[in-house]
Amino acid sequence: MFDDRSPIYLQIADKIKEDILSGALGEDEQVMSTNQYASFYRINPATAAKGFQQLVEEGVLYKRRGIGMFVSPDAREKLRTERRERFFEEVVDAMITEARVIGIPLDEIVRRIEGAK
Amino acid sequence: MTLSVEVKDLTIRYGETVAVDGLTLKLAGGKIYGLLGRNGSGKTSVLSAVSAFRKATSGAVLVGGAEPFENAALTRQICFVRDRVDAQDGDCARGVFRMARMLRPNWDEEYAQALIERFHVPLKKRIGALSRGAKSALSVTLGLAARAPVTIFDESYLGMDAPSRYAFYDELLNDYIAHPRTIIISTHLIEEVGSLFEEVVIIDKGRLVAHDDTEALRARGVAVTGPADAVAEFTAGRTVLGDQRLGGTRSTTIYGQLTAEERGRARGAGLDLGPVGLQDLFVHLTAEERR
């Protein structure tokens, strides 16, 4: 569930983004209401609403008045692009730093990647 | 209908002891509030004044804009729940429920029955013979089923075991969603129940320490960790809540939001910025050395 150490609404937004990236939530699919979400995860409804609002502002979700929140048609593609931009810095560079610290030669990593092709 | 709760320059004295010391608070109606404070910080005194169980020594309490003290119509709208039951030891729970049905204008009998079953409230035993857990179960059942526009739980579920407490959190949240009202919860179990609060009020020695949106408060504590010199330089001139050293590493907890520029500067200096949980923040803000 959610930890106590960072804003819960950001954790909610991240969780929904993960579901969109993995395909568990499809384009134009309705997401749970803030009340359902609050009740399910045992959090204040205002906190849940803040997480959803964040996603509306980012264009990941859109509102249909009186019906609920839906996944934007281009949300998955948008999130994938964002993640790709961060991939080298957050995943690859971090891996290289870790490899240097523990003494794994980069050649060995390259060989492993070649093997996975 | 939701009712706001306002406390204006409230002071409560017991003889020489000042329990509440010029406290001012404004709580909008329809939210769930967490009231946090150490033992003896004045939580129960404030809540007793809000519920009209106690008269203010000076200052004012307003619920929905009116004074609740000796105002029967208004006090029916305020439900104060503790971990003991306001009844004679010889009474049985059945009698306590009969009273509640009469006194509480929004009482929901069907909901009360469901809660009695869920929390295994013994109806036939005398109040004096109930275990601590059973007393808590009875109290929270009375508090929830009353559906009072202002409902206050003053550490009322401390006697319950963990599964019963979580059942209580679920009931509270779902019933609040279905019937929005002003709820104030005072508790020591911050990690368990913190995610239910929309706003948090922290008091210490009868004075206000912090009142903010829970999420904003969470974002306000930052743990700065790294080489001792760099940490000292970065945290100089800030409100320091706590400080720990381990060899050449230092971790200092500061209070106050950091700008993006400051975050960047910290990272550039090889410092790690970590979030601080609500409970840790509470511990730091009310620690002995800060008193």
Tens-place pLDDT, residues B21-40: 999 999 999 999 999 999 99
Q: Order of strands across the sheet with B221-227?
A: B239-246, B249-255, B221-227, B272-275
Three-state DSSP at B156 gives: coil
Does pLDDT of A38 surpass 80?
Answer: yes
- Kindly identify which residue of chain A lies nearest to residue B197, measuring between CA atoms: A44
The pLDDT assigned to B191 comes to 87
Res. B291: pLDDT tops 70: no
Q: State whether residue B56 is helix, strand or coil.
A: coil
- Whether A69 maps to a domain, the answer reads yes
Q: Kindly report which listed range (B41-55, B86-100, B107-121) carries the lowest average pLDDT score.
A: B86-100
What is the C-alpha to C-alpha distance for residues B189 and B159, in angstroms, rounded to an integer? 12
A50 and A99 both lie in a single domain = no
- Distances in Å between the Cα of B62 and the Cα atoms of A98, B52, B68, B85, B140 are 59, 10, 7, 25, 24
pLDDT value at A4 more than 60: no
Residue B162's φ and ψ, nearest 5 degrees, are -55, -50
Is B142 within 8 Å of B67 (Cβ atoms)?
no
Whether ipTM > 0.90 holds is: no
Does residue A67 sit in the same domain as residue A15? yes
In SS3 terms, chain A reads as CCCCCCCHHHHHHHHHHHHHHHCCCCCCCECCCHHHHHHHHCCCHHHHHHHHHHHHHCCCEEEECCCEEEECCCHHHHHHHHHHHHHHHHHHHHHHHHHHHHCCCHHHHHHHHHHHC
B272 touches chain A (CB under 8 A): no
What percent of chain B has pLDDT above 70? 99
Host domain of residue A80 = 76-116
Classify residue A89: in a domain, yes or no: yes
Co-location of A31 and A53 in the same domain: yes
Is the CB of B88 inside 8 Å of chain A's CB atoms?
A: no
- Which residue, among B57, B43, B38, B44, has the nearest Cα to B291 in the 3D structure? B38
Question: What are the pLDDT digits (tens) for B119-173?
Answer: 999 998 998 899 999 999 999 999 999 999 999 999 888 889 999 999 999 999 9
Residues A55, A84 share a domain: no
Residues A23 and A44 in one domain: yes
Q: Which of A58, A73, A88 is the C-terminal boundary of a domain?
A: A73
Give the whole-angstrom CA distance, residue B202 versus residue B282: 7
Q: Is B32 on the interface with A (CB under 8 A)?
A: yes
Supply B62's token pair: 């307003």
Alpha carbon distances (Å) from B111 to A11, B68, B107, B118 = 33, 27, 9, 10
Residue of B32, B33, B195 to mutate when probing chain A, most A C-beta within 10 A: B195
| CA distance, residue A5 to nearest chain B CA (Å) | 4
Q: How far is B15 from chain A (nearest CA, A)?
A: 40
Flag whether residue A2 sits within 8 Å of chain B, measured between CB atoms.
Answer: yes
CA distance A98 to chain B (A): 16
Nearest CA in chain A to B166: A42
A80 shares a domain with A64:
no
Is A2 inside a domain boundary?
Answer: no
* Residue A36 touches partner B, C-beta closer than 8 Å: no
| Residue B128 and residue B160 in contact, taking contact as beta carbons nearer than 8 Å | no
Which has the closest alpha carbon to B151: B100, B117, B109? B100
Give me the residue label for tokens 């991939």: A87
**B237-271 per-position pLDDT tens digit:** 998 988 999 989 999 999 988 888 898 898 888 89
CATH number for A55: 1.10.10.10
SS3 state at B275:
strand
- For residues A62 and A25, membership in a common domain is answered with yes
Both A14 and A68 in a single domain?
yes
One domain, residues A61 and A85: no
Residue A3 resides in a domain: no
Considering only A7-11, B31-35, B72-76, B85-89, which range has the smallest mean pLDDT?
A: B85-89
Instruction: Give the domains, in start order, of chain B with CATH numbers.
Output: 5-205 (3.40.50.300), 217-290 (3.30.70)
pLDDT value of residue B270: 86
Question: Which tens digits make up the pLDDT trace of A43-96?
Answer: 999 999 999 999 999 999 999 998 999 999 999 999 999 999 889 888 999 899
The tally of domains found in chain A comes to: 2
For B154, how many CA atoms within 13 A lie in the half-sphere containing its CB?
A: 18
List of residues 6+ apart from B1 with CB closer than 8 A? B149
Q: Quick check: A2 pLDDT over 80? A: no
**pLDDT of the residue at A117:** 82
> Per-residue pLDDT for B61 more than 70?
yes
Nearest to A58 by CA among A2, A16, A86: A16
Chain A residues with CB inside 8 Å of B198's CB?
44, 46-47
Q: Which pLDDT value is given to residue B207? A: 96
Query: Contact at 8 Å (CB) between B224 and B266?
Result: yes
- Does a structural domain hold residue A95? yes
Contacts of A109 (CB under 8 A, 6+ apart): A95, A96, A99
Between CA B73 and CA B55 the distance in angstroms is 17
Q: Is residue A13 part of a domain?
A: yes
Query: Do A15 and A67 belong together in one domain?
Result: yes
Beta-carbon separation of A7 and B274 below 8 A: no
Name which of B17-21, B85-89, B205-209 the model is least confident about: B85-89
Verify whether the Cβ–Cβ distance A35 to B177 is below 8 Å.
yes
Residue A84 lies in a domain: yes
Secondary structure E strands in B187-278 = 199-204, 207-213, 221-227, 239-246, 249-255, 272-275
Nearest CA in chain B to A7: B215
d(CA B276, CA B291): 21
Residues A50 and A89 in one domain: no
Chain A within 8 Å of B215 (Cβ-Cβ)? yes
Q: Which of B32, B28, B35, B37 is nearest to B196 (CA)?
A: B32
> A 37-56 residues with CB below 8 A of B?
38-39, 41-47, 50
Based on the fold, state whether residues A90 and A44 are members of the same structural domain. no
Task: State the count of interchain CB pairs (< 8 A) between A and B.
Answer: 55
Q: Smallest Cβ distance to B194: which of A4, A7, A38?
A: A4
Amino acid at B88: Q
A1 within domain boundaries: no
In DSSP terms, which residues pair with B251 in a beta bridge? B225, B244
Per-residue pLDDT at A3 exceeds 80: no
